[in-house]
Chain A
Amino acid sequence: MRIPILKLGRYLLISVQVELDDQTALQFQEDLLNKIHQEGSLGVVIDLTSVDMIDSFIAKVIGDVVEMSNLMGAKVVLTGIQPAVAITLIDMGVSLQEVQTALDLEQGLERLQQELGG
């Protein structure tokens, strides 16, 4: 299973709509990095509204993908993390401190625009 990556100008948009198993998550990591390279994207919004569980492995993959994207010059914003998911992550001691967040896709894009100077 592959997660679709949409291009919007200099940004990439990803809305995760499937239950994330390990293989899908790793495949996504690879696809996203290739796409950033290919398109020369400056910003990425990953929307997690439909994701109802993030365990430590998925959290690690997400944290890694953010760090890797940053290395390639693309800022990543995670959006739509559900309250239940956020509380569970905090309980587990995973706070994804380096990661930027926003409430939803719209505010995520706004945030990117602010950071990249319009």
Chain B
Amino acid sequence: MNNQSCIEIGNEWGIVSARQAGRELSKNIGFGSVDQARITTAISELARNIYLYTEIGQIELTSVVKDNDGREGIKVVARDKGPGIENLRDVMVDGFTTSGGLGAGLPGVKRLMDEFDIESMPGEGTTITTVKWLR
């Protein structure tokens, strides 16, 4: 089983390949259909953010194991060298949008996944790390 992959997001097709890779990996790990849809959707949101706001970035997918109880899960890291996010607090509010979308992107991802962490330096880029654990 290929349990790690890294997809470059340089154009719209990157979004599609990232979510296909995510669906494949989450299926292999053993996620049910609802969680597969959650994970794929979260990856799509993260990949779209990279595509919309930065020139280039990547989505890393890894299968992981939880320290304390050995549960399996999938880790999704979205990394870019874009402008960074200045108003971190604003982007986590439902309905806040700078792109004309539904504004459900980042807060949506947070609700779809179990763990969510965002690091951003204006001018240097953004790294978003999320994990979903098997139930």
Which of B12, B13, B104, B105 counts the most A-chain CB atoms under 10 A from its CB?
B104
Complexed CA–CA distance, A59 and B80 (Å): 25
Known: A92-B112, A93-B104, A94-B102. A52 touches B12 (CB 8 A): no
Are the CB atoms of B108 and A92 closer together than 8 Å?
yes
21 contacts between A and B (CB under 8 A): A22-B15, A22-B48, A52-B23, A53-B23, A53-B37, A53-B40, A53-B44, A55-B41, A55-B44, A56-B101, A56-B105, A57-B101, A59-B104, A82-B37, A84-B37, A87-B37, A88-B34, A91-B38, A92-B111, A93-B104, A93-B111
A63 to B100, CA, bound (A): 13
Q: Which residue of B lies closest to A58 (CB)?
A: B44
Using known A-B contacts A53-B19, A60-B102, determine if residue A88 contacts B48 with beta carbons closer than 8 Å: no
For the residues of A in contact with B, the DSSP-based class is helix
Interface size of B in residues (CB-CB distance below 8 Å) = 27
Interface size class on chain A is 20 to 34
Given that A88-B112, A93-B94 are known contacts, is A52 also in contact with B102, CB under 8 Å in the complex? no
